[in-house]
Amino acid sequence: MTVPAQIDPADDSGQSFYEKHKKIYPQSVHGTFRRIKWIVLIVTLGIYYFTPFIRWDRGPGAPDQAVLIDLPARRFYFFFIEIWPQEIYYLTGLLILAALVLFLMNAVAGRVWCGYLCPQTVWTDLFLLIERWTEGDRRERMHNDAGKLTPQLAARKTLKHFLWLMTAWWTGGAWVLYFSDAPTLVHDLATLQAPFIAYLWIGILTFTTYALAGHMREQVCLYMCPWPRIQAALTDEYALNVTYRLDRGEPRMSAKKATAALARGEPAGDCVDCHQCVAVCPTGVDIREGPNLGCIQCGLCIDACDTVMERLDRPTRLIAYDTDINIGERLAGKSTMARIVRPRTLLYSALILIVGAVMAWSLSARSISSVNVIHDRNPEYVVLSDGGIRNAYTVRILNKRTTPRTFAISVDGLTDPVVEVTAANPADGEQIVPVGADQTREVRVIVSVPEPPAAASVPVTFVVTDTADGETATVTDNFRGPGDGT
């Protein structure tokens, strides 16, 4: 493993503390991994740009957008799921799941996230496509930039920036659609009636997308993103990485020299030193120097090298997903295989399954109404004039339906309790609380018993029952007293 020499040791013409920016001109490439990347790009961008337009019927009075973050109403809608602010732990669960999946991907194949899925990579790929389409491929762009700015080149560059800005603008536009009814917002945006905040966010995201995908590109990965640092600390030596198989490639020499060397009985490697792998690399890395912080593991150099190998009739995958351990074993004459199933990958998979199962279970088991209780703390109980004991509670009932409902409140666990919802309009002797559609209602409930319970604290269960369909929700709390009852 060699280390990149950041500064040419022979060059001592001044010592700069600032890296000169070397513009990278990635060359277009064809092959398996490029195809996978295109598919991932189409799928992910398709999801991102079009999801806000998917409709989902939730009945009258509720938004019919499948995925909607409704900040003013404090609701998050995701198809059949509706998340309330007090259920924000689902988001925590989702983030834990996302982190575990990232760790698993890392344990299996290093920075796959970076190479295929990261928005920075996906949008950079899209912007490079536009650049190639307007300004030509690597050679042409390098040639153009080295020469004078002709009117024709200026026109092509203007077109490029225009297309970039349109893409960036669409990106920002799609973002705000997640926060409001998409078709209405599109209409309002077009007729300049949308709220200022929508335009502001579109502006911000247009700018960041244009700057990050058009201009910053690999600089984001090299200097701004924390993931490469975390990833390097999390990975192990068995994770598959895009690796130059130096056991096969060295000593590198041109095809002609190789033939001659082999004829003389001298060793010759498969690498013909054509620099194709470097030319296609979006971060300008020479993978043959070994693992490199700049490499986002996109696999494009594999495609580039395979193309060369095929032309030379040599076996492909001189660069491949492999490990340094395997290279060492092959150099030592042993056979190798990828070790995907290891304690680390098993552990991550198990954790993902557990967290995923817990989340799926809690999502499916959650009811469409729920109840919370807060016991009065000051005082915990009061003595009534007849010597009975009274406790007061604040009961909060959540109606997650899109229709108004009424609930009856009762209490289990006490002898002869008198339950009273203060300021309620009792019907048929029952304690009835109406709760509006998709709303929370807080009521004060006082519970009295004629005889002080024997214990200072008795567990009680509050039961709220939908008066229409009988659905119940329960919560337990305590009933307190002096504890000297008989």
Partner 1 sequence: MADSEHNEPRLDPVTGYKTTGHDWDGIEELNHPLPRWWLWIFYACIAWSVVYWFIFPAWPLVWSATGGLIGWNSRTAVDQEVAALETNRGPMIDRLTSTEIAAIKDDPELLDFTRAYGSIAFKENCAPCHGAGGGGSKGYPNLIDDDWLWGGSIDNIGHTIAYGVRNDNADSRYSEMPAFGRDGLLSGAEIREVVYYVRSLAELPVPSSADLTAGAEIYARDCASCHGEAGTGDQELGAPNLTDAIWLYGSDTADMIATVTNARNSSMPAWGERLDPTTVKALTFYVHNLGGGD
Would you state the structure tokens that stand for residue 152, as one six-digit string? 């024709």
Nearest to ligand SF4 of 119, 388 (CB atom): 119
Q: Which one of ligand SF4, partner 1, none is in contact with 5 (Cβ closer than 5 to 8 A by kind)?
A: partner 1
Query: Taking the alpha carbons of 480, 481, 484, 486 in that order, is the dihedral positive or negative?
Result: negative
Please tell me whether residue 118 adopts helix, strand or coil conformation: coil
Question: 196 contacts which partner out of ligand SF4, partner 1, none, CB within 5 to 8 A by kind?
Answer: none
Nearest-approach distance from CB 116 to ligand SF4, in angstroms: 9
Least distance in angstroms from the C-beta of 427 to ligand SF4? 60
CA–CA distance, 382 with 389 (Å, rounded to integer): 6
In the bound state with partner 1, the residue whose beta carbon lies nearer, of 21 and 256, is 21
Alpha-carbon distance values, 391 to 26, 153, 433 (Å): 73, 82, 19
CB 322 within 8 A of CB 240: yes
Residue 22: name its binding partner from partner 1, ligand SF4, none (Cβ under 5 to 8 Å by kind).
Answer: none
Q: Which amino acid is at 9?
A: P
**Cis before residue 379, ω within 30 degrees of 0?**
yes
Q: Work out the end-to-end distance of the chain between its first and last CA atoms, rounded to an integer number of angstroms.
A: 82
Q: Which positions touch partner 1 (CB under 8 A)?
A: 2-7, 9, 12, 15-21, 219, 222-223, 376-379, 382-387, 390, 392, 420, 422-425, 434, 436, 441-442, 444, 446
Closer to partner 1 by CB, 247 or 380: give it. Answer: 380
Shortest distance (Å) from residue 213 CB to partner 1: 16
Q: Which of 277, 280, 276, 291 lies closest to 241, judged by CA?
A: 291
As measured in angstroms, the least distance from the Cβ of 443 to partner 1 is 9
Q: Which residues are at the interface with ligand SF4 (CB under 6 A)?
A: 111, 113-114, 118, 120-121, 220-221, 225, 227-228, 242, 280-283, 285, 287, 295-301
**What, of ligand SF4, partner 1, none, does residue 3 touch, CB below 5 to 8 Å by kind?**
partner 1
Q: Considering the complex, state which of residue 283 and residue 370 has its C-beta at the smaller distance from ligand SF4.
A: 283
| Nearest 10 degrees: Cα torsion 224, 230, 232, 235 | -150
Query: Which CB, 101 or 446, lies closer to partner 1?
Result: 446
124 binds, among partner 1, ligand SF4, none (CB under 5 to 8 A by kind): none
What's the min distance (Å) between Cβ of 163 and partner 1?
24
Q: Which does 15 bind (CB under 5 to 8 A by kind): partner 1, ligand SF4, none?
A: partner 1
CA 73 – CA 84 distance, rounded (Å):
9
Nearer to partner 1, 316 or 440 (CB): 440
Secondary structure in 3-state letters for 308-350: HHHHCCCCCCCEEEECHHHHHHHHCCCCCCCCCCCHHHHHHHH
Residues 355, 96 contacting (CB under 8 angstroms): yes
Identify which of residues 114 and 177 has a Cβ nearer to ligand SF4 in the complex.
114
Binding partner at 296 among ligand SF4, partner 1, none, C-beta below 5 to 8 Å by kind: ligand SF4
Query: Is the Cβ of residue 99 or residue 383 nearer to partner 1 in the bound state?
Result: 383
Interaction partner, residue 301 (ligand SF4, partner 1, none; CB < 5-8 Å by kind): ligand SF4
CB of 173 to ligand SF4, least distance (A): 22
Nearer CB in complex with partner 1: 3/190: 3
Q: Is the peptide bond before 251 cis (omega within 30 degrees of 0)?
A: yes
Residue 478 CB, nearest distance to partner 1 (Å)?
Answer: 16
- Sign of the CA dihedral running 64, 70, 76, 78: positive
Q: d(Cα 158, Cα 278) in Å, to the nearest integer? A: 28
DSSP-derived pairing of the beta strands 472-480 and 457-466: antiparallel
CB of 36 to ligand SF4, least distance (A): 13
